[in-house]
Amino acid sequence: MFHARRRLGVLAVILATLAIGGIGARAAQRHALQQSTMSPEEFTKAKIARALSAAPADIAKDATVVELNFLGKTTVLRAGTNGFTCMPGDPAGVGQPAMCEDEASMQWSKDFAEHKPKPTNTVPGITYMLAGATQRSDSDPYDTTSKPIAIGPHWMIMWPFDPKTTGLPTTHKPTGAYIMWAGTPYAHLHVMGRP
């Protein structure tokens, strides 16, 4: 009985905190439901597994796993040694996939999130999204209103590719490669499928 009351109290706090933090009611309910049906250890294991599903096995086995909460705080869920960082994302959120990035891609993502005029990584980065993803636009990096586009497993090279010099298309395709957000400083190469 004590555990049931405690769990209900935790759920109420989670729902209130997430709602105040600006996360939608549906996301808050989903998070609370997951938390209520799993022990904290199981919940953490599930997040780690989701994060690692984004990378090839040889990268995932030694990658660091982190989670960024809605307040911007990063929590290390598992330490790693190979320079890649994997994140569980939110499988129900648009543009919030599980991903695994090297250091250059982490810088690219940080610059993008901070709306910097252009990425500051000085070498190409690699990002894996082998569990698939959703996005809003192939052309506008900051589109928040278009209908979501589902994308299958893919990986990316985070570098300013130009379709004029590469001859690659600029719209989503289910196989091969294309340049996403062409003509913007955040253009990068999408390679569909697994490496």
Is there a domain that residue 57 lies in? yes
AA identity, residue 74? T
Residue 95 falls inside a structural domain: yes
Contact in structure between 43 and 34 (CB atoms under 8 Å): yes
Amino acid symbol at 118: K
Please report which helix (H) or strand (E) contains residue 102, including its range.
none
- Alpha-carbon distance 69 to 157, whole Å? 26
Q: Which of 37-46, 55-64, 97-106 has the lowest mean pLDDT?
A: 37-46
As given in the structure block, the two tokens for residue 52 are: 């690692």
Per residue in 101-134, pLDDT (tens digit) is 999 999 999 999 999 999 999 999 999 999 999 8
Give the contacts of 3 (CB within 8 A, at least 6 positions apart). none
Residue 29 belongs to a domain: no
Is 65 contained in some domain?
A: yes
Residue range 138-190, pLDDT digits in tens: 889 999 999 998 899 999 999 988 888 899 999 888 899 999 999 999 999 99
Count of domains forming the chain: 1
| Collapsed DSSP state (helix, strand, coil) of residue 94 | coil
Residue 149 lies inside a defined structural domain of this protein: yes
Residue 94, domain member (yes or no): yes
The reply to whether 10 falls in a domain is no
How far, in Å, CA of 81 to CA of 192, rounded?
27
- The verdict on residue 30 lying in a domain is no
pTM, entire model: 0.79
Give the pLDDT band (50/70/90) at residue 5: very low
Domain carrying residue 167: 38-192
